[in-house]
Chain A
Amino acid sequence: MTKTIDEINEKIKQGKAVVVTAEEIIDIAREKGIKKAAQEVDVVTTGTFGPMCSSGAYLNIGHSKPRIKLGGGRAYLNDVPAYTGLAAADLFIGANALPDDDPRNKVYPGEFNYGGGHVIEELAAGRDVRLEAIAYGTDCYPRKKLETWINIKDLNEAVLFNIRNAYQNYNVAANTSDKTIYTYMGVLRANLGNINYATAGQLSPLLNDPYYKTIGIGTKIFLGGGTGFVAWHGTQHNPDVPRTEKGVPTRGAGSLCLIGDLKQMSPRWLVGTSMLGYGCTLTVGIGVPIPILSEEILDYTTVTDAEISAAVIDYSDAYPNLKPDILGEVSYAQLKTGKIKLKGKEVPTASLSSYPRAVEIANMLKEWIKSGKFLLTEPVAPLPGTESGITLKPLKERPIE
C-alpha cells in the first residue's frame, strides 16, 4: 500500500480524508492492524507545547519620516533590546533577550518576569509595544532618535523565526547536589528531590517520524496558532544518536527550524515564559501533520510513551560541566505516572511541556485538515538523516595569544 501527498490532498479537498491524532492512531492500529490502518488513515497529526528558547521574530516597522537607520544603532521593544544588525527598518527580537536594567541573577535566583518571549506574546496578542531607538544618522537616514508605539497590525512584516524547535526527545533533569538549583529545566530540588522532563512523548512531531521520512524542508505546519513551515533543520540537529529498534532516539536528536506569519498567531499558543534563576523564553505550540504514505510510516506513528525513553541527566554536575554521564534511563510512561525509581529513591516527576495543550493542537490541526482549510505540502528537500554525517560538536576552544 502506498499513497502520494497529491492523492491525500485530493481527498482533503473532497472532505473525505481520514485524519486522526498520534494518540488516537495507537488504539486504531492495535485494533485493526498496521496494514488496514494504513489503508484507512490518510493523515496523523502531532502536537507539542513547551518552552523553546531558540525562538525569535523579525519585524519590519516601516520607514519613519524623516527616515532613521536602525541598522547599527540600538532599539528596544518594551525596554527589551532588539537586534539591529540588519537594514534600516528591520529588527529581530529573541525570546531570551532581557531589559538592560533587569537584575538577572544578581538577586539570586533572578525572577526574569519580562523578556523577549513576552514581547513576542504581546505582539501576537495585538497589544501596543513601545519602540525606542537611537541611530547615528546618515545623509540618507538623518534621524537619530525614535520613540513610538507600534502594533503588529501596522507592521509590514512580523515573522516568527525559530532556529531550533520541536526537539526529537530531550533530557530528563535531576539534581544530585545538596542545594536547590534553578535551571532551564525548572527548579530542581536537592538530593533528587524532583525530576523534570519536557516532551509531548507519543504526540511529539519528530518522535512520530523518527527518520524524517515525511517531515522535511517546506512541510506546512501549525505554528503558534497559525500556519508556518519547516524552513531548515534546527541548530544542533543530531540525527545519529542511539535509537531503539523502531528508530526512536533515546537521546536528544533531530530538531526543526520553523518560520511563520506572526500576524496569524495567538497568545494562547505563544506564551512568554519565565524560568526562575535562568531567564526568559517563549512557550511555543507546534503541530506537524504526517501523511500516511505507507505502512512503514504508519507504523512509526503508533509509537507509545512506553517505547520512548530518555536519559536522566544531573543538572548540578554532568550538564553544566559537559560530562557524558547519565543517572539512568526512563520511559515517558514511567515519567507520566508522577514518580520514578532512581538510585533506590522514589522521585516525583513533573513536566515542563503541556500535554493537554499538545492534544489540543493535534486536534485543531486535525480539524483544519478535515475541513479542507489545511492542505499538506511535499517537502522540497529532506532533513539530514542518520547517514548525513552531521554530529553535534562541542566548542573547540583555542587560546588567543
Chain B
Amino acid sequence: MAVAKRIVLHFPKRIVDRPVVCRLAKDYDLEFNILKALVTPEEEGLLVLELSGEQEAYDKGIRYLTQAGVKIQSLSQDVLRNEERCTHCGACITICPSGAFELDPVTRRVSFYNEKCVACGLCIKACPPRAMEVHF
C-alpha cells in the first residue's frame, strides 16, 4: 500500500552536515518533496517534507531517520489555528497556495485542513486577528 505523509524533521547539530535525506531515495525507494528547509544560527536543521512510497519502505525510512537522531513530527501538529481568535472572516482563503482553507457555502465558516498545509507561513501574518500559529 502506498502512503504519502507530510512530516517535519528536526536535525540536531551533530548531523546537520551529514547526507541523510538523500538516502531515503537511494536506500528506501521513497520519494520526497521538500516543502521547507531551515538551518538556524545554532545550526539545528529543520526540514518539512512530503514523503511517499510503499508503506513498508516508508516505515523503514522513518526508522532509519529516527536511528540517525532525527526527531520526527507530523506536520499537522505544527501549524495550528487558535480557534478562539479565528473570526471566520475568510481573509486566509485566497492567500493559501495549497488550498488548506475552505469556506462552507452555507454556514460561511472557514475550515482549516492541516493535511493540505505546506507550512509556507503566508497565512500567519495575513490573518487579521493573528489566529494562525506555527510551532516548529
Query: A residues near B, CB below 8 A?
Result: 49-51, 109, 111, 113, 186-187, 189, 193-196, 271-276, 283, 336-338, 348-357, 359
Contacts and interface: CB of A to CB of B under 8 A. Distances in A.
B91 A271 contact: no
B103 interface: yes
Given A355-B108, A356-B108, A356-B109, A272 B129 contact: yes
Q: Which 10 A-B pairs have the closest CB atoms?
A: A194-B94, A355-B108, A354-B87, A354-B89, A350-B94, A351-B90, A273-B128, A348-B94, A356-B88, A350-B90
28 contacts: A50-B89, A51-B128, A113-B130, A186-B91, A186-B126, A186-B128, A187-B95, A187-B126, A189-B94, A193-B94, A196-B91, A274-B128, A274-B129, A275-B128, A276-B126, A283-B87, A283-B128, A336-B105, A336-B108, A350-B93, A351-B89, A351-B90, A352-B89, A352-B91, A352-B128, A354-B88, A356-B88, A359-B108
Contacts of B89: 50, 283, 350-354
A276 B125 contact: yes
B116 interface: no
B107 interface: yes
B85 interface: yes
Interface in B68-124: 85, 87-95, 103, 105, 107-109
Interface of B: 85, 87-95, 103, 105, 107-109, 125-126, 128-130
A118 to B, nearest CB: 10
A267 to B, nearest CB: 9
B131 to A, nearest CB: 10
Contacts of A351: 89-91
A271 B87 contact: yes
A279 to B, nearest CB: 11
A276 B91 CA distance: 12
Nearest to A351: B90
Given A109-B125, A271-B129, A355-B108, 8 more contacts: A113-B130, A194-B94, A274-B129, A349-B94, A351-B90, A352-B89, A357-B87, A359-B108
A276 B92 CA distance: 12
B103 to A, nearest CB: 6
Nearest to B102: A338
B20 to A, nearest CB: 34
B93 to A, nearest CB: 5
Contacts of A354: 87-90, 108
A348 B94 CA distance: 6
A193 B126 CA distance: 15
Contacts of A189: 94
Contacts of A275: 128
Nearest to A49: B87
A276 B90 CA distance: 15
Given A187-B95, A189-B94, A271 B85 contact: yes
B90 to A, nearest CB: 4
B128 A356 contact: no
Contacts of A348: 93-94
A186 B89 CA distance: 11
B19 to A, nearest CB: 36
A360 to B, nearest CB: 10
Contacts of B91: 186-187, 196, 350-352
Contact of A357 (B88, B95, B125, B128): B88
Nearest to A276: B125
Nearest to B85: A271
A200 B24 CA distance: 51
